[in-house]
């Protein structure tokens, strides 16, 4: 089903589920239940708001599809990345022992974690698909620790609505709502297909969000911030992708 058809269907579904007709009412409902995404520039006629609200209400806490080991792609395609800076190469040469993940913002206990610290946390592995908005995809096993565990340890303050994550690459950052951040399949990934996560695929640390498109899966992350509003970040749209016409909420 094409994206447009699916979008129409779920939009109509939302209005129907609400027992009303007319998209304006669905949009009002979205706003009432806090389902207005940061890339929405006004509620009326905002397709992104309706898509986000409809998907959130219909998908709820559903799981991304997991695959059998036999379906792991033989030649996963790594989207090219910017050449690593000297500082990164030096850390790589030292086996990333000095890689740090800072967790701050609206949390009770700001913290800085090494990969060794992260590896003491519960391990989760999943065989899921990465789908790029440009049309290709691959299936791999992802090994890491659920983001929810780190957020629980840091203690989200009341009013924290989004988790912003950024990487050593200046423009590579994105954000998730709390429901996606706390989802059991949302991982801080350190391994892939039984080995360490290769640099080409985002090693040593990558955000793995299997329920959303590839671009939400930022590579080389070193900073996580909890915030009440995306207005404080970049152009206030939740990431750089909406600046180029891609949705902030990239549910698959």
For ligand MTE, the binding residues (CB under 6 A) are: 77-79, 81, 130, 132, 167, 169, 172, 201, 214-215, 217-220
State yes or no: residue 132 binds Mo ion (CB under 5 A).
Answer: yes
Q: Which is nearer to Mo ion, 99 or 165 (CB)?
A: 165
Q: Which residue is nearest to ligand MTE (CB)?
A: 214
Q: Which residues pair with 3 in a beta bridge?
A: none
How far apart are the C-alpha atoms of 250 and 113, rounded to whole Å?
28
Q: CB of residue 167 vs ligand MTE: minimum separation in angstroms?
A: 4
Query: Which are the contacts of 26, defined by CB distance < 8 A and separation ≥ 6?
Result: 11, 14, 15, 18, 20, 50, 53, 54
Which residue in 142, 135, 227, 150 sits closest to 182, CA to CA? 150
Pick the piece of the chain touching Mo ion (CB under 5 A) from 61-69, 132-140, 197-205, 219-227.
132-140
Q: Which is nearer to ligand MTE, 23 or 115 (CB)?
A: 115
Q: Which does 37 bind (CB under 5 to 8 A by kind): ligand MTE, Mo ion, none?
A: none
How far apart are the C-alpha atoms of 120 and 82, rounded to whole Å?
30
How far apart are the C-alpha atoms of 86 and 216, rounded to whole Å?
25
Q: Residues in contact with Mo ion, total (CB under 5 A)?
A: 3
Site string for Mo ion, 214-233 (x = CB under 5 A): xx------------------
| Cα pseudo-dihedral 159, 160, 162, 167, rounded to 10 | 150
Q: Which is nearer to ligand MTE, 33 or 77 (CB)?
A: 77
């Amino acid at each position: 089903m094409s994206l447009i058809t699916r979008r129409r269907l779920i939009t109509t579904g939302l209005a129907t589920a609400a027992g009303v007709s007319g998209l304006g009412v669905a949009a009002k409902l979205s706003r009432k239940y806090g389902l207005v995404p940061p890339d929405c520039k006004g509620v009326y006629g905002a397709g992104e708001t309706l898509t986000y609200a409809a998907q959130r209400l219909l998908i709820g806490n559903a799981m991304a599809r997991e695959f059998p080991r036999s379906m792991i792609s033989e030649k996963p395609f790594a989207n090219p990345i910017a050449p690593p800076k000297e500082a990164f190469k030096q850390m790589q040469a030292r086996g990333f022992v000095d890689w740090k993940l800072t967790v701050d913002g609206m949390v009770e206990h700001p913290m800085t974690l090494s990969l060794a610290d992260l590896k003491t946390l519960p391990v989760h592995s999943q065989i899921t698909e990465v789908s790029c908005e440009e049309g290709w995809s691959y299936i791999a096993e992802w090994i890491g620790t659920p983001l929810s565990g780190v957020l629980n340890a840091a203690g989200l303050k009341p009013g924290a609505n989004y988790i912003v994550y950024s990487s050593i690459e200046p423009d590579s950052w994105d954000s998730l709502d709390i429901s996606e951040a706390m989802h059991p399949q949302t991982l801080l990934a350190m391994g892939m297909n039984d080995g360490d996560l290769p640099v080409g695929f985002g090693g040593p640390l990558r955000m793995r969000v299997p329920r959303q498109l590839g671009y939400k899966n930022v590579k080389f992350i070193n900073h996580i911030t909890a915030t009440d509003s995306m207005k404080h970040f970049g152009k206030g749209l939740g990431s750089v992708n909406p600046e180029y016409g891609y949705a902030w909420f990239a549910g698959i």
